[in-house]
Amino acid sequence: MKASEIKMLRDRWSDPKTCSNAIAFIHGKGDAPFTRTAEQNEDLRGLPVSAMLREASLEYVDMSAATLEGFGQFIECSLRQCKLVKGSFTTNLGNAFYTCDFSTATLAGAMVRGSFTECDFTKSNLTGCMGVQCRFVRCRFHQTNFRKATLIQCLFENCSFEQCKFGNGSLASSRFIDSKIAPETLGNTLMENAVFE
């Protein structure tokens, strides 16, 4: 997705009423403000979320290039089959994500909570991301930036790690089941009490 396309997607939210309609839709009230994408996902691409999304349940929604701004955050939400490509989610992100695409998304400094199942984090930026007791099951981490990330007491089960960047972070007390990380890529990441099975 090119910068010009991202700008175009974000510019269509300049009317506050359009944003309000989208937030209402997310909370199950009303229709989405735009027609569906070619992939038949609800189209919330580029949406700037500045309010808390609490206990929302979304399926087949495209939030590519969306942003969490100010008080914008996912609290106790459930997302299934959603696209979050090139999004900027740097606040709170929880609670359950199933088959979601976070590829090339920015989660730098985000507080992640809950579970991520069959999610794709290819080329995502998780720099300074924090999480405790999160579950990552069958997730793909390819060329993912984990520098300064603190993910402690987390479970990584059947996850793939390829060409990831680590360093100055912590994976202490985390458990890795059938989830191999090349030791030479870990750098000075704290691995105290981490278990690989």
Q: What is the pLDDT of residues 162-187, one digit of tens each?
A: 999 999 999 999 999 999 999 999 99
Beta strand pairing status for 150-152 and 130-132? parallel
98 has a pLDDT exceeding 90: yes
Q: Please report the pLDDT score of residue 188 as a whole number.
A: 96
Average pLDDT, the chain: 96
Decide if 157 is inside a domain.
Answer: no
Decide if 112 is inside a domain.
Answer: yes
CB 90 within 8 A of CB 107: yes
**196, amino acid identity:** F
Q: Give the span between the Cα atoms of 29 and 41, in whole angstroms.
A: 17
Q: Give the span between the Cα atoms of 172 and 169, in whole angstroms.
A: 9
Number of domains in the chain: 1
Token pair belonging to 87:
């999004």
Write out the E strands in the chain: 42-43, 48-49, 52-54, 57-59, 61-62, 67-68, 73-80, 92-98, 111-112, 115-117, 130-132, 135-137, 140-142, 150-152, 155-157, 160-162, 175-177, 195-196
Q: Give the span between the Cα atoms of 92 and 108, in whole angstroms.
A: 11
The range of the structural domain enclosing residue 10 comes to 3-146
Which CATH number does the domain housing residue 58 bear? 2.160.20
Residue-wise pLDDT for 53-97, tens only, equals: 999 999 999 999 999 988 899 999 999 999 999 999 999 999 999
Decide if 171 is inside a domain.
Answer: no
CB 82 within 8 A of CB 102: no
Q: Tell me which residue of 52, 47, 61 sits closest to 9, measured CA to CA.
A: 47
Residue-wise pLDDT for 6-26, tens only, equals: 999 999 999 999 999 999 999
Q: Which residues on neighbouring strands pair with residue 120, listed in sequence order?
A: 101, 140
Decide if 158 is inside a domain.
Answer: no
Q: What's the pLDDT band for 144 if we cut at 50, 70, 90? A: very high
139 has a pLDDT exceeding 90: yes
Decide if 196 is inside a domain.
Answer: no
Q: Please report the pLDDT score of residue 63 as a whole number.
A: 98
- C-alpha 38: how far from chain center: 22
CB 69 within 8 A of CB 51: no
Q: Please report the pLDDT score of residue 148 as a whole number.
A: 98
User: In angstroms, what CA-CA distances link 46 with 18, 75, 135, 139, 187?
Assistant: 12, 20, 27, 24, 35
Decide if 174 is inside a domain.
Answer: no
Decide if 38 is inside a domain.
Answer: yes
- C-alpha 69: how far from chain center: 14
Q: Please report the pLDDT score of residue 67 as a whole number.
A: 96
Q: Please report the pLDDT score of residue 70 as a whole number.
A: 85
Q: Please report the pLDDT score of residue 1 as a whole number.
A: 84
Decide if 105 is inside a domain.
Answer: yes
